[in-house]
Amino acid sequence: MSTVQVDTPGGAYPIHIDSDRLGRLAQSIPDDATTIALVSNATVAGHYRARAEAALAASGKRLVYIELPDGEAHKDWQTLNLIFDGLLQNRLDRKAVLIALGGGVIGDMVGFAAASYMRGIRFVQVPTTLLAQVDSSVGGKTAINHPLGKNMIGAFYQPVAVEIDIDVLSTLPAREISAGLAEVIKYGLIIDAEFFTWCEQNVGALRALDRAAITYAIQRSCELKAYVVSQDERESGLRAILNFGHTFGHAIESGLGYGAWLHGEAVGCGMVQAAELSALTHGLPADSVERVRALVRAIGCPVQAPDLGTARWLELMQVDKKTEGGQLRFVLLPEIGQACFEPVPAEALQRVLEQAAVPAQA
């Protein structure tokens, strides 16, 4: 088993990475827990509910189950209230523990519910998608979407543990693997050029879920995110670099309708756009831009942005957590492995957005 430690002012906790972590979930339940609330959706529950409940029963704690609808389109107030309904109906107290069994949507909503219920109870992340394992389950960002903007309502709230079972990846569609790999290569682009090169060299093994390759990719991604989050828990500085490609990506998700593209697909395409913008503003070499485009394509994510119209792009980007005083700021790459966070000239952004109206070459 690999263990990555996360240390933040909001809490310190382990990330356990191994086979059959689902079978050992009871190990992450605090001794003083009164009740365990397992929260999932029907898709994930069909695969893993029985196994998770059997493992949690070993804790000897009372166990309740709350099921949510599946998909990004349901990451909203209405669905969040289903969690609160279940907690209140079952009379959970402050020593209860929530278990988020699912992808990023489940993890974000359960984390936000944990941060809010009785002003804060404990929770454990059990991510079942690659994207959630390498990104959203780590670092304590919790949120729901609003029709006007993605993840605009939420809280920073750390779990007490993250349990990553690499076996669950075998049940994912190829498209979900591709979406997760977008977040994996992001870490190489913003902070570890050698890891980006490793991803280029091992892209076939990663897409095939070769055990050694995917385990290393998850571990290294978690190590890099843990380092960044430990330096800047609440995104007042360094942590902003984790949003590379996300300003474009969130606009794609909002503009097309939540769920039309997977989050990782939108981020992958957004990273290509951010690399193009970096070339215009920070001199990122053309061959580096092509490396970004080629690897995003190789993992199976789109590299051609949808034509939302420049005015609509700008409108969507203004509703972004990285906007300050009405001024858009972007994570940019002077070179692969090095990132900065700055405003950009309007004409440079305009040139990149205009490319979204140009059909991709065959």
Query: DSSP of 142-211, one letter per residue?
Result: EEEEETTEEEEEEEE---SEEEEEGGGGGGS-HHHHHHHHHHHHHHHHHH-HHHHHHHHHTHHHHHTT-H
> Is the domain of 83 the same as that of 181?
no
Active site residue 235: yes
Read off the pLDDT of each residue in 181-207 and give the average, rounded to a whole number: 98
With vertex at residue 115, the alpha carbon angle to CA 110 and CA 103, rounded to the nearest 5 degrees, is 20
Q: For residue 337, is it within any domain?
A: yes
Read off the pLDDT of each residue in 315-339 and give the average, rounded to a whole number: 86
Strand 35-41 versus strand 97-102 pairing type: parallel
Residue 149 has pLDDT above 90, yes or no: no
59-93 per-position pLDDT tens digit: 999 999 999 999 999 999 999 999 999 999 999 99
Residue 247 has pLDDT above 60, yes or no: yes
Q: Identify the band that residue 350 occupies on the pLDDT scale cut at 50, 70 and 90.
A: very high
Look up tokens 């609440």; give the residue: 234
Residue 313, amino acid: W
Residue 160 has pLDDT above 90, yes or no: yes
Q: For residue 362, is it within any domain?
A: no
Active site residue 141: yes
Which of the residues 21, 150, 246, 293 is marked catalytic? 246
Which of the residues 163, 176, 223, 235 is marked catalytic? 235
Residue 362 has pLDDT above 50, yes or no: no
Residue 297: count other Cβ atoms within 10 Å of its Cβ. 16
Which of the residues 61, 250, 265, 276 is marked catalytic? 250
> Is the domain of 330 the same as that of 197?
yes
Read off the pLDDT of each residue in 19-43 and give the average, rounded to a whole number: 97
Domain count, the chain: 2
> Is the domain of 322 the same as that of 181?
yes
Q: Comparing C-alpha atoms, which of 358, 362, 150 is closest to residue 262? A: 150
* Core vs surface per residue 151-173: b (16+ CB within 10 A) or e: beebebbbbbbbbbbbebbeebe
pTM above 0.85, yes or no: yes
> Is the domain of 157 the same as that of 183?
no
Residue 215 has pLDDT above 50, yes or no: yes
Read off the pLDDT of each residue in 217-242 and give the average, rounded to a whole number: 94
Burial of 206 (C-beta count, 10 Å sphere; 0-12/13-18/19+): buried
Answer whether 119's CB lies under 8 Å from 208's CB. no
Residue at a domain's end among 106, 140, 170: 170
> Is the domain of 244 the same as that of 328?
yes
Answer whether 164's CB lies under 8 Å from 17's CB. yes
Which of the residues 74, 150, 263, 293 is marked catalytic? 263
pLDDT at position 193 is 98
> What CATH number did the domain enclosing 39 receive?
3.40.50.1970
Active site residue 225: yes
Q: For residue 234, is it within any domain?
A: yes
> Is the domain of 28 the same as that of 65?
yes
The Cα–Cα gap between 101 and 120 comes to 19
The Cα–Cα gap between 188 and 217 comes to 10
pLDDT at position 353 is 95
pLDDT at position 171 is 93
Q: Comparing C-alpha atoms, which of 155, 77, 82, 172 is closest to residue 120? A: 155
Q: Identify the band that residue 129 occupies on the pLDDT scale cut at 50, 70 and 90.
A: very high
> Is the domain of 222 the same as that of 277?
yes
pLDDT at position 165 is 98
Residue 313 has pLDDT above 70, yes or no: yes
Which residue range(s) make up the domain with 317? 174-357
Q: For residue 25, is it within any domain?
A: yes
Element housing 217 (H / E): helix 211-231
Mean pLDDT for all residues in the chain: 95
Which of the residues 74, 141, 186, 293 is marked catalytic? 141
pLDDT above 90 covers a percentage of the chain that reads: 90
Pair of tokens at residue 246: 């996300």
Which of the residues 16, 74, 239, 293 is marked catalytic? 239
> Is the domain of 329 the same as that of 201?
yes
Residue 195 has pLDDT above 90, yes or no: yes
* Core vs surface per residue 16-47: b (16+ CB within 10 A) or e: bbeeebbeebeebbeeebebbbbbbbeebbeb
Pair of tokens at residue 201: 């060299």
Question: What values do phi and psi take at 241, rounded to 5?
Answer: -65, -20
Read off the pLDDT of each residue in 151-155 and give the average, rounded to a whole number: 93
Residue 361 has pLDDT above 60, yes or no: no
Active site residue 151: no
Between the two ends of the chain, the Cα-to-Cα distance in Å is 44
Q: For residue 35, is it within any domain?
A: yes
Q: For residue 121, is it within any domain?
A: yes
With vertex at residue 137, the alpha carbon angle to CA 230 and CA 36, rounded to the nearest 5 degrees, is 115
Residue at a domain's end among 147, 170, 193: 170
Active site residue 183: yes
> Is the domain of 147 the same as that of 252?
no
248-305 per-position pLDDT tens digit: 999 999 999 988 999 999 999 999 999 999 999 999 999 999 999 999 999 999 999 9
> Is the domain of 87 the same as that of 116?
yes
> Is the domain of 154 the same as that of 186?
no
> Is the domain of 249 the same as that of 234?
yes
Residue 345: count other Cβ atoms within 10 Å of its Cβ. 11
Active site residue 312: no
> What CATH number did the domain enclosing 303 receive?
1.20.1090.10
Active site residue 74: no
Tell me the CA distances in angstroms from 306 to 71, 124, 171, 357, one per residue in order: 21, 36, 29, 7
Active site residue 94: no
Strand 338-343 versus strand 329-335 pairing type: antiparallel
Active site residue 72: no
Residue at a domain's end among 170, 190, 205: 170
